[in-house]
Chain A
Amino acid sequence: MHDLVSALGGKTFEGFAKIREIGPLGMISLRCDLRQKPLAAALKKLGLSVPAARRIVQKGGRSVGWMSPDELLVILPYADVGSTLETLRNALAVIHFLAEDVSDARAVFRIEGEKAEQILSKLCPVDLAGLEPGELRRTRAAQVAVAFWVEDGGYTLVSFRSVASYVMGLLTHSATKGSEI
């Protein structure tokens, strides 16, 4: 097996909050009618359940987030993607679905520290005070699409891989010491 290289090779920045590029992280884009029973059964096998609208369900190092009315994002260790895809494809074969590995198409960042919220409030047109626990928010950060949620006292933020460097730049700029709001 060749080494996997995340978009930025684990770059970090220490400002008034800490920014870390993490990954590679396994991600599966899963599209189907979310009310279908085989979906619930398939997720149950992974220890997960079907999330409500705009929610992310996290359990034992795996999560599944609601992306749209007919799309979920399964997040799991990178090494498990192949077998999980197999599991899902077999379990969902009876219904109309799509399951694709998108692990490499993404960059994942952690924003940590007491004032982590301020970083996002500079970049996203989102009322973060209204963000509920377990809510996955899709929006934009400056000029690119992102999704984020609260996790372990910080935020986990996902962007497209090609713009990882831009996103890191945004986060760095916003977290620069002296820029506390």
Chain B
Amino acid sequence: MSTRLAKGGRLIDRSTRAEFMFNGKRLSGHQGDTLASALLANDQMLVGRSFKYHRPRGIMAAGPEEPNALVNLGHGDRVEPNQRSTTTELFPGLVAQSQNHWPSLEFDVGVVNSYVSRFLPAGFYYKTFMQPRAAWKHLFEPVIRQSAGLGPAPKSPDPDRYEYVYGFCDVLIIGGGIAGLQAALTAGQAGKRVMLIEQTPHWGGRAVVDGDVVEDEPAEDWVKSAIDALATMKNVTLRTRCMGAGVYDHGYVLANERVADHSPGDGRPKQRLWRIRAGHIITATGAIERPLSFAGNDIPGVMLAGALRDYLVNYGVSLGDRTVIVTNNDDAYLTAIALAEAGLAVPAILDARTEVTGDLPERARALDIRIEAGRAVARVKGGKRVTGVEVCLQAGEGAVLEEIVCDAVAMSGGWSPVVHLWSHCGGKLTWSDHISAFIPDTTRPPITHDGSPMVTVVGAAAGIYRTDDIITSSGVVENTSPVPPVWVMPQGAPVALRSKMWLDYQNDVKVSDVQLAAREGYESVEHTKRYTTLGMATDQGKLSNINGLGVLSDALGEDIPRVGTTTFRPPYTPVTIGALTGEARGELFQPLRRTPMHDWHEANGVYWEPVGHWRRPYCYPRNGETHAQAVHREVLNTREKLGLLDASTLGKIIVKGPDAGRFLDMMYTNMMSTLPVGKCRYGLMCDEQGFLSDDGVVARIDEETWLCHTTSGGADRIHGWMEDWLQCEWWDWKVYTANVTEQYAQVAVVGPNARKLLEKLGGMDVSKEALPFMQWADGTLGGFAVRVYRISFSGELSYEIAIRASHGAAFWEMLHKQGAEFGAMAYGTECLHIMRAEKGFIMIGDETDGTVTPLDLGLSWAISKKKTDFLGKRGMERSHLADPDRWKLVGLETLDGSVIPDGAYAVVDGVNANGQRNVEGRVTSTYYSPTLKRGIAMGLIKHGPDRMGEVVTFNKVDGGTIAAKIVDAVFFDKAGEKGNA
């Protein structure tokens, strides 16, 4: 059984006590524990069930590579699935729940999968759930969904705060072991701006656990003085609990700092995502130990040898009293020595190598530990925990030589350098036969913006394990003690054993699965990965990829370098969505643009409509009105009395200069250079293809100055479009532009009583004679300095009044107060849309979709025939755009007065080549007109303008059709008398 020893544990504070809950059980650990070490200290060796077969699983590792000990962490609002207990720091009150079991961890029904495992081979789902198709929906999918997935997602909103921070440095060092610290000291002493990050809360990496000697000092002391020295350097930033997640282009690195994971609710942000731009990146990310593939290598009590040492040294926790070591390399002997020195039994070291020499084996021999060369584990005995091992020859087929009773097995298949960050942005790898691992190919590094290498790898991440080699940075991989390849144990294991050898613990992929994939023709490692799901779990194959690759290359009879690796992709370990989101949640999810009258709208019951990032009033429901009722009231009131619209969002761009007229003649399809000062003209803008992109009223301010109104969503786009042409094509033209959209609030005062209200306010002459339709004037109204445009988008008598934004709200409120006697009432965008549709005015985005030309919309009057060129002119000349069969805009009047559904197509008999119903047009705008008390619509219809009076048929979403007569698109006040009043 696993337990806390009486002595030892360099990271724990035995004077403290941290109570926590695991699966409803109250347990206790110490400050400094991880959840994993605390569980082991409480003899909780069974920590989860495997994904596919629901096999009992124990803790395998002591770091982020842990595949098994994933828990659902937290309670109430703070719940996180799939948290690795090996990297979760213990704190008082921690609550954790194991995953993937039902009804309980100890007794799990899903384990039945294990007994039928030979019927669940690799690719089982692909092979089985092919036919019949109907079974998918009703049988296969529901069952698979039920049994798929590990932890449950949290149900309530995350109560915690997250944030980004942008970091800059000359040298970013990822990994705070000896190699990283040494690199930081070197760069720091050279005066470089250094950032050193370490994913754990502690500095020193493995050297402090293994009791290495660094520059004649115990590693522990060396690390302490290194940190002290670095802390005094102003040019060095140190962060622990900060995981280097990904390396991207041009020295860009994402790192996730777990600020308050271990102190939830203490007022700090839970996590902080560092977005670092580094001149150079040094990865000192160490290495990860590989398991060995023997039967039963997943039974609780089997652990990586280095991890077992971590628990012993760091936390004073032993996995068992009698630990068998099984290895193919020298490093595992450190575990044997550490156990023996702690007074625990090591009945045998089973070493797959036929010759065992070297310092560490000699030290073990000196401690009277039995070493068996050329031996392997045939099978681990036990169910929910290890009870013993059967020993066999590594060279053989698994015939049992003896049984050794033990309660723990420490295994080591060698160490794989953590090359993830080197590889993220294109660093290539080379295979080292010496240590049987991929190491960075320093001749093919990832490069940065100037073509120079962007990443350097140091220490164990480069296959350099000896501290002397690291300190002097003169080591080569060959100095590391050699590791022969041992992919299957024993080498000739029969299928009965191979089908109990786990490669990927989390996704339950066995040696036999990979071999099956190879037999079935999956020769590419990327295909094998997807077919077997090897390396596709949340640990992304940190333990399994190299072993799987070894098995695959053996099965294919190919060298490992030829088979190659799967792609390393960020993040190195999972990063929660909250951290990636940063501050962008709730109110800050995206910027909302508010007009100066926003608060008034809010206070008056507005129902908002998003228009780009703007919020515009859609309508203002009163006294329980539906939106439709409110809109109808607003339309009728505006048509009969007086409506007020917040039009502040309309784009306003000043265009000024000696060449401004010439420039606007290029930007607009119509002639703007001839517009007299003081007048307004409606204009259209096309892209170079000839498709309509924006529209609005242009006012000539003075000889050299025009003011261009754009659509609400279009201001920034059109301003950018103008600047693009001025900067990149006609850069010798003397024109300046300024986007003054937000300088002005704008109010449309609309309706038969509009003039009465403005006259009451006084200050300027707004009579028909002084300010006729399509003119503008500066003046004052009610003491406010204003610019008044006599323009109309509703067909009513209408003034659009621009006023400085700082006065916008006061002016708007004054209009309401003074306008009350004239029936003044605010109206929203839907009312605006209906009124413009009643008048047959087009709306960009409704009548246009990026494939519609002005000619399609019957706007030929707005296309200058005199100009030799404008943007879109050549595009419109293309045969397809000049085709007389193009759909053209008309009005549509339903025969029964109902409203045609939005987006409906006009259908005709027959089907096209794709078997779809033939169509001859579509609806672009459709409304119930409160003015006309019937449905009205506009649509693009083939030969539409030539078919006035014809009836066309539209389909409805719920089946059935609706008949409509083709009519003139101007439904209301065709003579335009109201607007000209």
Contacts and interface: CB of A to CB of B under 8 A. Distances in A.
**A–B proximity contact (CB within 8 A):** yes
Contact of A102 (B163, B582, B740, B811): B740
B399 interface: no
A160 B656 CA distance: 22
A132 interface: no
Contact of A162 (B163, B657, B658, B742): B742
Nearest to B614: A162
B275 interface: yes
A160 B742 CA distance: 7
A129 B167 CA distance: 10
A52 interface: no
A96 B166 contact: no
Interface string A82-105: 000000000000001110111111
Interface stretch (B101-109, B584-592, B933-941): B584-592
Given A31-B736, A100-B743, A179-B161, A2 B784 contact: yes
B804 to A, nearest CB: 5
B783 interface: yes
B88 interface: no
A4 B275 contact: no
B744 A104 contact: yes
Contact of A125 (B166, B588, B744): B166
B594 A2 contact: no
Contacts of B164: 122-123
A134 B33 CA distance: 50
B492 to A, nearest CB: 58
Contacts of B193: 129
Contacts of A7: 596
A102 B743 contact: yes
B743 A104 contact: yes
B583 interface: yes
B921 to A, nearest CB: 38
Nearest to B742: A105
A124 interface: yes
A12 interface: no
A42 to B, nearest CB: 16
Contact of B163 (A4, A5, A122): A122
A177 B591 CA distance: 23
Nearest to A181: B165
A179 B268 contact: yes
Interface residues of A, number: 50
B530 interface: no
Nearest to A3: B810
A104 B736 contact: no
A163 B596 CA distance: 11
Nearest to A167: B591
Contacts of B583: 122-123, 142, 170, 173-174
A31 B807 contact: no
In the complex, which range does the number of interface residues on chain B fall in?
A: 35 or more
Contact of A104 (B166, B167, B805): B805
A27 B895 CA distance: 58
A135 to B, nearest CB: 15
Contacts of A31: 736, 738
A96 B657 contact: yes
Contacts of B595: 162
Nearest to A165: B594
B779 to A, nearest CB: 15
A173 B588 contact: yes
A126 interface: yes
A153 interface: no
Contacts of A169: 587-588
Contacts of B163: 122, 173-174, 179
A24 B584 contact: no
B161 A173 contact: yes
A32 B783 CA distance: 34
B262 interface: no
B806 interface: yes
B592 to A, nearest CB: 6
B81 interface: no
Contacts of A122: 163-166, 583
B460 to A, nearest CB: 30
B266 interface: yes
A163 B593 contact: yes
Contacts of A142: 582-584, 588, 591
- Greatest chain B CB density within 10 A among A98, A130, A169, A178 is at A98
Interface string B188-223: 000001000000000000000000000000000000
A61 B827 CA distance: 43
Interface string A57-83: 000000000000010000000000000
A124 B168 contact: no
Contact of B593 (A118, A124, A127, A162): A162
B654 A98 contact: yes
A2 B805 CA distance: 12
A125 B268 CA distance: 22
A143 interface: yes
B269 interface: yes
A5 B804 contact: no
A126 B161 CA distance: 23
Nearest to B745: A104
A118 B656 CA distance: 41
A165 B588 CA distance: 10
A127 B738 contact: no
Interface in B130-189: 161, 163-168
A2 B268 contact: no
B736 A5 contact: no
Contacts of B737: 98
Given A96-B736, A144-B591, A176-B161, A130 B806 contact: no
A5 B168 contact: no
B186 to A, nearest CB: 21
Contacts of B811: 2
A4 B806 contact: yes
Interface in A150-181: 160-166, 169-170, 173-174, 176-179, 181
A105 B741 contact: yes
B809 interface: yes
A114 B375 CA distance: 65
A91 B354 CA distance: 94
A3 B804 CA distance: 12
A17 to B, nearest CB: 14
Contacts of A97: 736
B741 A124 contact: no
B464 to A, nearest CB: 33
A178 B266 contact: yes
A80 to B, nearest CB: 15
Contacts of B167: 121
Nearest to A143: B591
B267 interface: yes
A29 B736 CA distance: 11
A98 B656 contact: yes
Given A98-B654, A105-B805, A5 B810 contact: yes
A143 B585 CA distance: 12
A100 B804 CA distance: 12
A49 interface: no
Contact of B590 (A118, A143, A173): A143
Contact of B657 (A5, A98, A105, A123): A98
Interface in B721-754: 734, 736-738, 740-744
Contacts of B783: 2
A170 B583 CA distance: 7
A136 to B, nearest CB: 18
A174 B166 CA distance: 12
B275 A98 contact: no
A105 B743 contact: yes
Q: Closest 6 CB pairs between A and B?
A: A178-B267, A162-B593, A104-B805, A98-B736, A105-B742, A127-B168
11 contacts: A3-B810, A96-B736, A101-B804, A121-B166, A123-B164, A130-B168, A162-B593, A169-B587, A177-B267, A178-B267, A179-B163
Given A29-B738, A104-B744, A126-B166, 4 more contacts: A31-B738, A166-B591, A166-B592, A176-B161
